[in-house]
Amino acid sequence: MSIDRDISIRQKLKPFNQFLQMEGVTEIAVNRPGQLYYEREGVWNQVSLPSLTYDALIELGITAAKYSGDNVNFSKTEPIVSVTLPDGERAQFIQPPACSPELVSLTIRKPSLKIISVDDFYRSGFFNHMRKAEEQNPKDEELLEIYEHLQEYEEGAKKRVEFLRKAVRYGKNIVIAGETGSGKTTFMKALMQDIPRDERIVTIEDVPELVHGLPYHDNKVCLFYPSEAKRNSNVTAASLMRSCLRMKPDRILLAELRGPETFDFLNICLSGHGGSITSCHAGSCEDVFKYLALKVQQAEDAKTMTTEQINRYLQDVIDVVVHIHNDKKGIGRHITDIWFKPARLKS
């Protein structure tokens, strides 16, 4: 690595130095020019930094790519780059067209240099709250209690609203299913309003719809892939989901599951990123699992999985399925069914 490249990247990083050196900071994120977030002791904090203009962020990304290696680029045709900075921090840059026009996404993850002993963990209460394997999660118990009343004639509709809003707040993985024109995306945006506003959200879509569904959530990044993207394209739904893992999201919202990216989505959900919401085309809650199994089978990494393994994987990851139908000659758009994993396990 040349001395000139090292000097150049450190010069461009000067606006970030106070946060990189701040005790307790683990993540730094820029979602839009002039605005910086830093995570300290599990809480995101926002500050204004006018020096972080669009051009300055693009120049920083280009400089970081050059610092990383001769074959690494950051451009409109290669809009995503992941690099290691001089002091070991991992950084990821995303520019249009993979994110909203005039925006640049930057995430910096600081390596932890602090050594905490097992005794320190013990004194902090780290070991005090483990449940037995057979014990039900209290939030699942609450949702199950509500779920058992969804079919009631008079109170059922209110219970369905309560169930779905709490399922979102409690971080359940939700799939909204229905035919074209049934209102899946519109309802998905409605559910998104119940995501706690202090959470960091990444949306992924090909058509800008979800981007307009989070007017009250400031800490968000909206990513885009071209509808005609091929598997070997620089930007695909699957590549954006893998990029998400370097962006410290609390929630990942994928507009629609259509192909082999379904396997990547499930892997992300299983890796601890709960609270994901997505949609797919299916005629019923039961058909969702058949449809998604076919999409998983399209993924190269899932070729060796049996149908039974895929079905078990799907039912392990997905917590809630909502089916919507548009009865054009009758009652219009409405929910026809709600599937809930703990209810299936109980039956």
Digitized pLDDT (tens) for each residue of the chain, 347 residues in all: 567 788 999 999 999 999 999 999 999 999 999 999 999 988 999 999 999 999 999 999 999 999 988 788 999 999 999 999 999 999 999 999 999 999 999 999 998 777 889 999 899 998 988 876 666 789 999 999 999 999 887 889 999 999 999 999 999 999 999 999 999 999 999 999 999 999 999 999 999 999 899 999 999 999 999 977 666 678 999 999 999 989 999 999 999 999 999 999 999 998 888 899 999 999 999 999 999 999 999 999 999 999 999 999 999 999 999 999 998 888 899 999 999 999 887 65
Contact indicator for 149, 155 with CB cutoff of 8 Å: yes
- Structure pTM? 0.89
Q: How far apart are CA 113 and CA 222, in angstroms?
A: 31
User: What is the CB neighbour count within 10 angstroms for residue 156?
Assistant: 12
Structural fold of domain 3-109? Beta-Lactamase (3.30.450)
Burial of 287 (0-12, 13-18, 19+ CB in 10 A): middle
- The distance from CA 276 to its chain's CA centroid, rounded to whole angstroms, is 6
Report the candidate in 292, 338, 286 with the shortest Cα–Cα distance to residue 314. Answer: 292
Q: Which amino acid is at 327?
A: D
CB 27 within 8 A of CB 248: yes
Is domain 138-346 in CATH 3.40.50.1000, yes or no? no
Where do the domains of the chain lie?
3-109, 138-346
Residue 300 tokens read as: 């190269």
Nearest-angstrom CA–CA distance, 10 and 7: 5
